[in-house]
Amino acid sequence: MPLTDVQVKNLKAKENAYKQSDKDGLYIHVSKTGHKSWRRDYRFNGKRQTITIGVYPILSLKEARLKNSELTALLHNKVDPKESKEKAKPKPTFKDVALEFMDKQLKGKKWTPGTFEKNSQKMEKNLFPFVSNKPIGDISPLEFLEALQPMEDRGVHATVKKVRGIAVQIFDYAILKGLCTTNPARGIAKALTPHKEHHYKTLTDTRDIAKLMQAINGYKGDFKTVVLLKLAPLTLTRPTELRSAKWDEFNFSAKEWRIPASKMKSRREHIVPLSKQALKLLQELQLVSGHREYLFFSNTAKTGFLSENTASKALHSLGFKGKMTVHGFRGMTSTRLNEMGWPSDVIERQLSHLEGNKTRAAYNHAEYLDQRREMMQEWADELDRITAREE
């Protein structure tokens, strides 16, 4: 006897999984937990096969019978329903593969959380709107070039170069997975505008530095953002390293911040000596975010910490758009330290720049630590003097 809607609804879980037949080979399978799924057994090329048609109640009895009729028609035409089902699956889109690839880079620690965040934002803003829903195996070099054109038109050639570089890796990954046979992101560089390297906007004149620090001191926005901007010149770290700082990386007794190798561009642990001024700011911030994992936590950002744009927008609102960037604090501080007479090797080590000489690069992360402690305290005192003197 064929099943009725009421019978299907009333089927309950038992000690062992069981099935209840309907008609034309269709039956409903009930697991030990009560999960119900529509199935069909059949033979193809002499082999017994089972195919799951759908899950109840998402697929009703009536809908399951219609699907089963389609399977019967396929069998009648000597087509394996499983192969047909596989061919009917939607092809992975560029966005599907891109998200999978980027997630693997983060989990495999090939990218730092900051790199993952930056690259994800670049793809979401600049490339996904044009090729996200396109099956990755169907994208031609011309189509990919056209997707880059809006960036070319805006003149953001550095972003074009970065986005294309990420896309090259994504297509290579797709080739390895058998999702496409060629890489349309390769071989198109000649059709793009050459990118000229530029330096981050920064300030080096003491009068300009004074105005900047005074403006930050008077900023009425989020307290965490104020502290972030004040700590930037006191730590000399990259913006992402600072934004993603965690409380368990700090040792107030030792007056230092140890950044794990996994978060560093150099892939080496980096020690940041903390001046009295930096420690005071951290103690104030601890009252706000000491109960959280990140110093600069965010309840909205996927990363859990403040986004790159937060501090940039603050600088813009203070009147420094086109004059200063968050990354520019590194250039500002290193310039001043050089003018103060500090050895370039000590400054470069504090900047955590990669050493070109392999023997020197092998030195441990504490290289010049005593000198760097003295340097960072002298710089913090100098920054206070500059700010106060020009008011």
Q: Tell whether 196 is covered by a domain.
A: no
pLDDT at 299: 92
Are 130 and 223 within one domain?
Answer: no
At 330 the three-state DSSP class reads helix
CATH of the domain at 133: 1.10.150.130
Are 20 and 74 within one domain?
Answer: yes
Q: Rounded to an integer, what distance in angstroms lies between the CA atom of residue 211 and that of residue 214? A: 5
Are 84 and 98 within one domain?
Answer: no
pLDDT at 87: 58
Are 380 and 309 within one domain?
Answer: yes
Q: Rounded to an integer, what distance in angstroms lies between the CA atom of residue 81 and that of residue 356? A: 60
pLDDT at 342: 86
**Domains held by the chain: number:** 3
Q: Rounded to an integer, what distance in angstroms lies between the CA atom of residue 112 and that of residue 110? A: 7
Q: Rounded to an integer, what distance in angstroms lies between the CA atom of residue 377 and that of residue 280? A: 13
Beta-strand (E) ranges in 125-251? 250-251
Q: Tell whether 111 is covered by a domain.
A: yes
Are 237 and 334 within one domain?
Answer: yes
Are 310 and 181 within one domain?
Answer: no
Q: Tell whether 115 is covered by a domain.
A: yes
Among 191, 226, 258, the domain-final residue is: 191
CATH of the domain at 9: 3.30.160.390
**133-149 pLDDT per residue, tens:** 889 999 999 999 999 98
CATH of the domain at 301: 1.10.443.10
Q: Tell whether 328 is covered by a domain.
A: yes
**282-329 pLDDT per residue, tens:** 999 999 999 999 999 999 888 899 988 899 999 999 999 888 989 899
Q: Tell whether 197 is covered by a domain.
A: no
Q: Tell whether 198 is covered by a domain.
A: no
pLDDT at 196: 57
Q: Tell whether 211 is covered by a domain.
A: yes
The model's pTM is: 0.55
Are 360 and 334 within one domain?
Answer: yes
Q: Residue 184: which domain range?
A: 94-191
Are 58 and 101 within one domain?
Answer: no
The CA distances from residue 211 to 27, 63, 207, 219, 278, in Å, are: 77, 71, 6, 12, 20
Cβ pair 257, 284 in contact under 8 A: no
Q: Tell whether 199 is covered by a domain.
A: no
Cβ pair 228, 311 in contact under 8 A: yes
**Beta-sheet strand order (sheet of 270-273):** 250-251, 256-259, 270-273
- Which DSSP symbol is given to 248? G
Q: Which residues of the chain have pLDDT under 70?
A: 84-89, 195-201, 354-366, 389-391
Nearest to 233 by CA among 197, 198, 203: 203
Q: Rounded to an integer, what distance in angstroms lies between the CA atom of residue 16 and that of residue 4? A: 23
**38-50 pLDDT per residue, tens:** 998 988 888 888 8
Are 98 and 54 within one domain?
Answer: no
Are 166 and 235 within one domain?
Answer: no
Among 191, 221, 255, the domain-final residue is: 191
Are 82 and 107 within one domain?
Answer: no
Are 225 and 139 within one domain?
Answer: no
- Note if the bond before 194 is cis, omega within 30 degrees: no
